Amino acid sequence: MLYIHKLNQLTPKTAEVESVYLIRELKQKTPLPLKEQQMENYLLEFTISDTDRAMMMQAVPLVQPIIDQLKQMLMERNPLHESVNIQRAIQTLEEMPQALINNINYVEDIGAWQARAIMELTALFNTIPKLRSKDQKVACDQELNVVFQRILRNKDFAFNFYDIINEAQVQHITDLHEAMNKGYFFHFTLEEELKKIDFNGIKHRIPPEKMQQIEEITKDLFHIKRGVERAYQVNMRMVNYALILFAYVKWMMSEQL
């Protein structure tokens, strides 16, 4: 896509612009009359996969145990730890579970619909050039609205991403995971800060059991990050899916006699 690179960038205006070059591609790869197999092949990349589901579902149960461990660290009041950073990490992690669960529910709904969508979409799009009466056009428009509302989670032509994984969660979990490799949960002394000593330079003074705990948390954070990133990728895929279908509709309407 040329102009749509974030979830909030899908609008009727951007869709109109993007559809200009998309229609040329659609005409080449799925010529009229539309056939189910050609449509299926073209839209295959937008299909929800078992891997999509698995990666998101794997992330959810990992979050709360880490939050519990971090809260326990705060209760210890150990000068070894950087309490402010631990509190920030808890806040970041608390953003994830419900957004992931909402995303999984969304993906399950889309995945179940996609099992029959190609047949429905092919038939629906093929009827558009043949529409004549006002009632026919209204009925078709209602069917299209149902399709776009399902994909975009919205009655307007814009993706409703506020309660699922979006750019904010991706950035926050990425920042946290990267910070873990820099000793984010450990306190650096003023001398260490002034000498610009990195995490590797202070590991010698950190008890092995504390290091092991952080390493295990970091590993789990990696899997959480993967799940969050995959959820976001799926959401962007659905934005692009809606855009492709918009281009089909625009193309079909231009074919009306």
Per-residue model confidence as pLDDT tens digits over 87-96: 999 999 999 9
Average confidence score pLDDT of the chain: 96
Q: Is the Cα dihedral 55, 60, 110, 148 positive or negative?
A: negative
Range of the domain at 168: 7-254
Integer Cα distance of 89 and 185 in angstroms: 9
Q: Please give the pLDDT value at position 257.
A: 60
Mean pLDDT of 100-127: 97
Mean pLDDT of 123-142: 96
Q: Please give the pLDDT value at position 6.
A: 97
Integer Cα distance of 7 and 166 in angstroms: 7
DSSP string, 171-216: HHHHHHHHHHTTTTTBPPPHHHHHTT--HHHHGGGS-HHHHHHHHH
DSSP string, 68-98: HHHHHHHHHT-TTB-HHHHHHHHHHHHTHHH
pTM here? Answer: 0.95
47 within a domain of the structure (yes/no): yes
Integer Cα distance of 101 and 81 in angstroms: 31
Q: Please give the pLDDT value at position 210.
A: 95
Measured in whole angstroms, how far is the alpha carbon of residue 29 from the centre of its chain? Answer: 27
Residue 172 has pLDDT above 80, yes or no: yes
- In this structure, what DSSP letter does residue 30 have? S
Q: What is the pLDDT of residues 27-86, one digit of tens each?
A: 999 999 999 999 999 999 999 999 999 999 999 999 999 999 999 999 999 999 999 999
**With bands split at pLDDT 50, 70 and 90, how would you rate the model's confidence at 256?**
confident
Q: Which of 175, 153, 171 is nearest to 242 (CA)?
A: 153
Residues in Cβ contact with 211 at an 8 Å cutoff, skipping those fewer than 6 apart? 203
2 within a domain of the structure (yes/no): no
> pLDDT > 70: what percent of the chain?
99
- SS3 assignment, position 50: helix
Residues in Cβ contact with 226 at an 8 Å cutoff, skipping those fewer than 6 apart? 55, 58, 59
Mean pLDDT of 212-226: 97
Helix (H) or strand (E) holding 157: none
Q: Please give the pLDDT value at position 152.
A: 98
Answer whether 109's CB lies under 8 Å from 146's CB. Answer: no
Q: Please give the pLDDT value at position 171.
A: 98
Q: What is the pLDDT of residues 187-210, one digit of tens each?
A: 999 999 999 999 999 999 999 999
243 within a domain of the structure (yes/no): yes
1 within a domain of the structure (yes/no): no
Q: Is the Cα dihedral 32, 35, 37, 42 positive or negative?
A: positive
- How many helices (H) does the chain have, and how many strands (E)? 10, 0
The domain total for the chain is 1
